[in-house]
């Protein structure tokens, strides 16, 4: 098949550049994907969506991208073996847990706490897995860049003030507003870190699939989404019973943001997977966090969340770290 030959050639090229920095093409794909990712996260935050929203988003994804899925499926599904289908299944499970946990975090915490911790804790785990199990070499400059990203994440999530608030004992005469804010902070940190673990898991699995298992990014994303749909439906029923299945009133409320996310989010992730094919995963995964620049602006300006200056400084640290990773 045409795709098989092209994929083989691409993997041969990748084998020769796995331990080098990112090319201009790979970096461009990552930057564009970062803007898309931050944008749809803003939409998800403003929608206030729950597990039902994740289900509807997956359905719109399947419908909008059905032509592309059919084309790539016709090209390569016949060549899939047990390994490829297990990778799709594992990816689907982790993506489902990621999205459901992320939406729950957005309902109970601030975007500028949940999003940075979710996106920022994942590269640490992903980079370590890529270097330990996929034969990649990050190098001193790469680890320094990753450290800059981690420092920026701490600043964006609230910096030292956030850490003090997180671990400090509640004052005896703490007001209701302060108590609620502290609970939101703790919830945001918890859900953010848990989401980050799921992101790291699917990043490693999906990276292996497109770099070593001969799977195209489009097919992996599309058929992974199809595998996620019954999982999310079961979660909806498990949480709220059959009565929780989206009805006409709920569809009318959320169909616009769900359609936007279902149509746009796959574009960003497919860009990332193509970048993974031509650059080391240990560099692409941390470089994705340039999306913090956009999230800091969106959360601080558009949503009116606090500590805008510290979060913009953190975003600058992340940008510097990304530059170090890309041009090492």
Q: Any idea where the domains of the chain sit in the sequence?
A: 23-327
Q: Residue 56 and residue 36: Cα distance in Å, rounded?
A: 19
pTM score, two decimals?
Answer: 0.79
More confident residue, 142 or 304: 142
Phi, psi angles (nearest 5°) of residue 33: -65, -35
H or E element, residue 201: helix 176-212
Contact 269, 33 (CB under 8 A): yes
Q: Residue 116 and residue 120: Cα distance in Å, rounded?
A: 5
Which tokens in the block code for residue 242?
């059959």
Q: Is the alpha carbon torsion for 259, 260, 264, 266 positive or negative?
A: negative
Q: Residues of 90-110 as b/e, b for ≥16 C-beta within 10 angstroms?
A: bbbbbbbbbbbbbbbbbeebb
Q: Residue 141 and residue 179: Cα distance in Å, rounded?
A: 42
More confident residue, 225 or 17: 225
pLDDT over 70 percentage in the chain: 79
Range of lowest pLDDT (81-90, 119-128, 158-167): 158-167
Range of lowest pLDDT (19-23, 119-123, 184-188, 239-243): 19-23
Say what the pLDDT of residue 138 is: 79
Q: For the segment 90-130, what is each residue's pLDDT rounded down to a tens digit?
A: 999 999 998 889 888 888 888 767 877 887 788 888 888 88
Closest CA to 124 of 150, 163, 100: 150
Q: Residue 177 and residue 162: Cα distance in Å, rounded?
A: 16
Q: For the segment 291-305, what is each residue's pLDDT rounded down to a tens digit?
A: 766 666 665 554 455
Q: Residue 99 and residue 104: Cα distance in Å, rounded?
A: 9
Average pLDDT, the chain: 81
């Amino acid at each position: 098949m045409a795709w098989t030959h092209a994929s083989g050639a691409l993997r041969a090229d990748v084998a020769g550049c796995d331990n080098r920095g990112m090319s201009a093409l790979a970096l461009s794909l990552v930057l564009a994907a970062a803007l898309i990712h931050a944008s749809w996260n803003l939409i998800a935050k403003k929608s206030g969506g729950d597990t039902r929203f994740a289900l509807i988003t997956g359905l719109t994804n399947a419908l909008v991208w059905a032509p592309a899925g059919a084309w790539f499926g016709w090209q390569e599904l016949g060549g899939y073996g047990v390994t490829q289908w297990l990778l799709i299944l594992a990816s689907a499970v982790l993506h489902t847990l990621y999205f459901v946990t992320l939406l729950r975090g957005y309902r109970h915490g601030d975007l500028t706490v949940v999003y940075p911790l979710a996106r920022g804790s994942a590269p640490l785990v992903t980079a370590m897995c890529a270097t330990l199990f996929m034969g990649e070499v990050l190098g001193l400059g790469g680890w320094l860049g990753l450290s800059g990203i981690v420092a920026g994440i701490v600043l964006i999530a609230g910096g030292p003030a956030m850490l003090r608030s997180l671990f400090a004992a509640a004052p005896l005469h703490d007001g209701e507003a302060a108590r609620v804010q502290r609970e939101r902070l703790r919830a945001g940190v918890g859900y953010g870190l848990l989401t980050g673990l799921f992101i790291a898991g699917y990043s490693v699995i999906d990276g292996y699939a497109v770099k070593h298992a001969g799977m195209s990014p489009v097919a992996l994303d599309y058929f992974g989404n199809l595998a996620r749909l019954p999982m999310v439906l079961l979660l909806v029923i498990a949480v709220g019973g059959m009565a929780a299945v989206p009805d006409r009133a709920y569809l009318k409320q959320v169909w616009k943001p769900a359609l936007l996310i279902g149509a746009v989010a796959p574009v960003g992730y497919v860009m990332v997977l193509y970048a993974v094919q031509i650059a080391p995963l240990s560099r692409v995964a941390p470089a994705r966090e340039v999306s913090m620049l956009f999230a800091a602006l969106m959360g601080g300006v558009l949503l009116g969340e606090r500590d805008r200056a510290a979060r913009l400084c953190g975003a600058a640290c992340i940008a510097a770290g990304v530059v170090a990773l890309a041009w090492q």
